[in-house]
Amino acid sequence: MPTHSKPLLFVLAASTAISTASLAQANGELNLYSSRHYDTDERLYSEFTEATGITINRIEGKADELITRMQAEGANSPADVLLTVDTSRLERAKDAGVLQSIDSAVLEERIPANLQDNDNQWFGFSQRARIIFYDKADVTEPPMDYVALADPKYKGMVCHRSSSNVYSQTLLAAVIENHGEEAAKSWAQGVVDNFAREPEGGDTDQLRGLVSGQCDISISNTYYFARAIRKDVDGLSSDLDKIGWVFPAQEAEGAHMNLSGGGVAAHAPNRDNAIAFLEYLASDQAQQYFSAGNDEFPAVPGVSVSDSVAKLGEYKGDEVDLSAVAKNVPAAQKIFNEVGWK
């Protein structure tokens, strides 16, 4: 598909300093700071440019690096939009003062209230359910909710990521919000007691652990599994038939949802373009591509999902206020430390 102008790409590393003068701030442009690392997002950007004539200048980096950079740049920051993954990082950006509140009837109408900041500083645009996967040969009665992961009958069977990972932190923060701190601490201790190995690796590694026999039960975001359905993932795709899955807590709060989202930068020089970009991300076209391009669930209700995602089946997602969940992350980290979840 032709575009009016090819986006400029700047890759940010911790040791790399990029002059803000290299980013244009004229009308018809948008300066995007993004920690989404998916090549498939290129289509999102090119189609926005095709539709609007607005060129996207992009800096990519880890979320904390980008937030720190925006703080250091202050009022001179060229950033118009911050995109990142996980509610805790969106809330961190808000707390750091690098986002601003906006008024958008489009976003208010299309994005569910629990998937947006209470002050309209950030909005969720795609979701990943964090669910339970298991080895079908070894587990005949899989845990049906998160609480059951702490059941002693699963001792020595569970693989999980480390406590330093934001997905782990946000899940425990949601357990705190839904069940209280005391119950959350007991749950975390029970899961630690059931570990098959010390926490290590990413979500794909947890799934590979089921294939290799290293563990019998694990937790992963759905899009890692759906990706292995759609295309070959080494050490996983050829053995997907061995793995079963459970959308947890379907008779209670529902499956825990992780967000990918963004907001308008506090000192956005192209504020109108920034709002237009966020509204575009809430369009049916963009929402469908979050699913087709990266195997995610749309944030906007009623938007169809890709075949790979549809194969996971219907489910009920937790509708807890994610702003409240994000505020529980410090308490979650304290619990992790107390129970020895490395």
Q: DSSP string spanning 217-243?
A: EEEEEHHHHHHHHHS--TTTGGGGGGE
Q: pLDDT band for position 233 (50/70/90)?
A: very high
98: how many CB neighbours lie within 10 A of its CB? 25
Phi, psi values for residue 50, rounded to 5°: -60, -40
Four-CA torsion 30, 35, 36, 37, nearest 10 degrees: 110
Q: Please name every residue paired with 127 in a beta bridge, in sequence order, or none if there are none.
A: 259, 297
| Predicted confidence (pLDDT) at residue 11 exceeds the cutoff of 60 | no
pLDDT exceeds cutoff 50 at 3: no
Which amino acid belongs to residue 272? D
Q: 243-299 pLDDT, tens per residue?
A: 999 999 999 999 999 889 999 999 999 999 999 999 999 999 999 988 988 899 999
* Residue 27 confidence (pLDDT): 53
Question: How many residues would you count in the chain?
Answer: 342
Name 200's Cβ contacts closer than 8 Å, sequence gap at least 6. Answer: 161, 162
The answer to whether the beta carbons of residues 256 and 146 sit under 8 Å apart is: yes
For the cut 80, the answer to whether the pLDDT of residue 237 exceeds it is yes
| Percent of the chain residues past pLDDT 90, beyond the cut | 80
Nearest to 146 by CA among 230, 227, 254: 254
| pTM recorded for the entire structure | 0.83
Q: DSSP character for 174?
A: H
Structure tokens at 248: 């947890």
Banded model confidence at residue 15, pLDDT cuts 50, 70, 90? very low
Do residues 34 and 60 touch, judged by C-beta distance below 8 A? Answer: yes
Which pLDDT does position 107 carry in this prediction? 97
Residue 321 confidence (pLDDT): 86
How does the average pLDDT of the chain come out, rounded? 89
CB 227 within 8 A of CB 233: yes
User: Is pLDDT of 16 > 70?
Assistant: no
Nearest to 224 by CA among 318, 123, 133, 287: 133
Q: How far is the C-alpha of 168 from the C-alpha of 121, rounded, in Å?
A: 24
Query: What pLDDT was estimated at residue 22?
Result: 35
H or E element that contains 133? strand 123-135
**What integer is the mean pLDDT of 131-140?**
96
Q: Quick check: 236 and 133 in contact, CB under 8 A? A: no
Shortest CA distance to 281 belongs to which of 28, 56, 94?
A: 56
In contact, 229 and 88? CB cutoff 8 Å? no
